[in-house]
Amino acid sequence: MHIHILGICGTFMGGLAVLAKQAGHKVTGCDANVYPPMSTQLEAQGIDLIQGFGIEQIGLQPDLYVIGNVVVRGNPLMEEILNRGLPYISGPQWIGEHILRDKWVLAVAGTHGKTTTSAMLAWILEDAGYDPGFLIGGVPMNFGISARLSGKAEVGAHTAASPFFVIEADEYDTAFFDKRSKFVHYHAKTAILNNLEYDHADIFPNLAAIETQFHHLVRTVPGVGRLLVNAREPALQRVLERGCWSEKELFGGDGEQGWSLATLDNGHFEVRFNGELQGCVQWELSGEHNRMNALAAIAAARHVGVPPAQAIAALARFENVKRRMELRGVVRDISVYDDFAHHPTAIATTVAGLRKKVGKARILAVLEPRSNTMKLGAMKDALPGSLGEADLVFGYGAKGGGKDALDWNLAEALQPLGSKASTYSELEPLVAAIVKAAQPGDQVLVMSNGGFGGVHQKLLTALAAQ
């Protein structure tokens, strides 16, 4: 089958393209904006990319058009597909029907930590010899790719692919013609509900609307399946109160029931199940959020037969995900990190994790609030509190009326931080200000869910030129 993917360079659709290619399909695709790591990954897989959504792409004559949720009515190629009555399907539905059918699906849902937890879970299964397939919204460093059909996918036609598949289960809507959350298409047998807060203000009016979507996910998990649920989240408790028909295990509670952890002074942590010690995770990752992510992954792996002790040992060799507290370089004893954090809760936990790691060293937080939720200003009042542990804050709001421009005043929002916060509308003055302020020993933490104009390398280059 020849599929042509509209919106191929998003993390999900790019992963779909890789899976489709490995499954033997001919894959082409188009998008408006292309930047690494997804563009690099697609090129390495030999997948042809077309810039833009021109109607001449109809001439490719694919068997099916797979539509990403960035595509809206008015998109010229989509309009031509509709006018001609050509076959199309959403990305999540295509994945559900063509990749996940007959698989034991392990789905990771939650407002935060989906990518990291999915990467941890996939690595635990890999380390245990399960050769899982996976689709993750980032690039796990243990694998170097965001998606694969199976560890045995390319061994040969006579080698059976692994029945296990780990997928990041996003609550964002499926497509312009299917407003259900993506995760309802995945039919998970093992489902992690990591946390639940208000997000995606562009499509959800309130937290209750997101809780409804999470309950739709709960409804799809079979009775022989299992839910791994964060015990610290009232919103998830409300979701389960609407009805639960599967096995359920809680994690992150007080230790009497389900999975619990106890943090040691060096950042390592003990894991207990129903009060019984299972082992100690010894690793370099920081932050309570990562410990909770790991606890969920250990619990989910147990559902498919991986002993907790084995999962705990595997996490000592976990290398994290690109753009999750990724050290991009050190110049003149000034470290520059890249992190995907964009929701105030994620920003706060990221800054806190770095603070725990570096002690009293100065943290220079550099933030681009470019998610749809942040651009609408739904979370702007929470920003100052989320950045409280940083020593200096540099905010960036794109100038003009482009797609990344803010609908609110970033300088006003950061005003409670006083003189330690400054804001910029162009990259060059932003870089210059950070370089001027930076001192040996400083930790520059760049946070954005986009490419941020390559600011990380610009900073390293400017620091080296001094």
Query: Which pLDDT belongs to residue 38?
Result: 67
Contacting residues for 420 by C-beta, under 8 A, at least 6 apart = 390, 391, 392, 393
Q: Which of 183, 25, 221 is nearest to 90 (CA)?
A: 183
Buried/exposed 84-122: b ≥16 CB within 10 Å, e otherwise: eeeebbbbbbbbbebbbeebbbbbbbbbbbbbbbbbbbb
**pLDDT tens-digit map of 373-411:** 666 677 788 888 889 889 999 988 865 555 557 777 888
Beta strands in 172-217 (DSSP E): 173-175, 178-181, 190-193
**In angstroms, rounded to a whole number, what is the distance separating the alpha carbons of residues 204 and 264?**
39
Q: How large a percentage of the chain has pLDDT more than 90?
A: 58
Report whether pLDDT(49) > 70.
yes
Which position has the token pair 């290619």?
Answer: 21
Report whether pLDDT(421) > 70.
yes
SS3 362: coil
Q: Hey, which residues does 96 pair with through a beta bridge?
A: none
- Largest distance between two CA atoms of the chain: 65
Query: Which pLDDT belongs to residue 369?
Result: 83
Mean pLDDT of 336-353: 83
Sign of the C-alpha dihedral computed for residues 368, 331, 285 and 168 taken in this order? positive
**pLDDT tens-digit map of 84-121:** 999 999 999 999 999 999 999 999 999 988 999 999 99
Q: How large a percentage of the chain has pLDDT more than 70?
A: 94
| CA 204 vs CA 60, 173, 200, 207, 212: distances in Å | 36, 10, 6, 7, 10
Domains and CATH numbers, the chain: 2-92 (3.40.50.720), 100-315 (3.40.1190.10), 326-465 (3.90.190.20)
Position 255 confidence tier, pLDDT thresholds 50, 70, 90: confident
Which position has the token pair 């207990």?
Answer: 272
| CA 88 vs CA 101, 177, 365: distances in Å | 19, 11, 43
How many other C-beta atoms can be found within 10 angstroms of the C-beta atom of residue 440?
Answer: 8
Report whether pLDDT(244) > 70.
yes
Query: Which pLDDT belongs to residue 452?
Result: 79
Mean pLDDT of 366-371: 83
The verdict on whether omega for the bond into residue 37 sits within 30 degrees of 0, i.e. cis, is yes
Lowest-pLDDT range of 47-56, 125-134, 353-362: 353-362
**In angstroms, rounded to a whole number, what is the distance separating the alpha carbons of residues 434 and 8?**
34
Query: Which pLDDT belongs to residue 73?
Result: 96
Query: Which pLDDT belongs to residue 332?
Result: 87
**In angstroms, rounded to a whole number, what is the distance separating the alpha carbons of residues 285 and 283?**
6
Position 158 confidence tier, pLDDT thresholds 50, 70, 90: very low
Residue 170 main-chain phi, psi, to 5 deg:
-85, 140
**In angstroms, rounded to a whole number, what is the distance separating the alpha carbons of residues 17 and 28?**
8
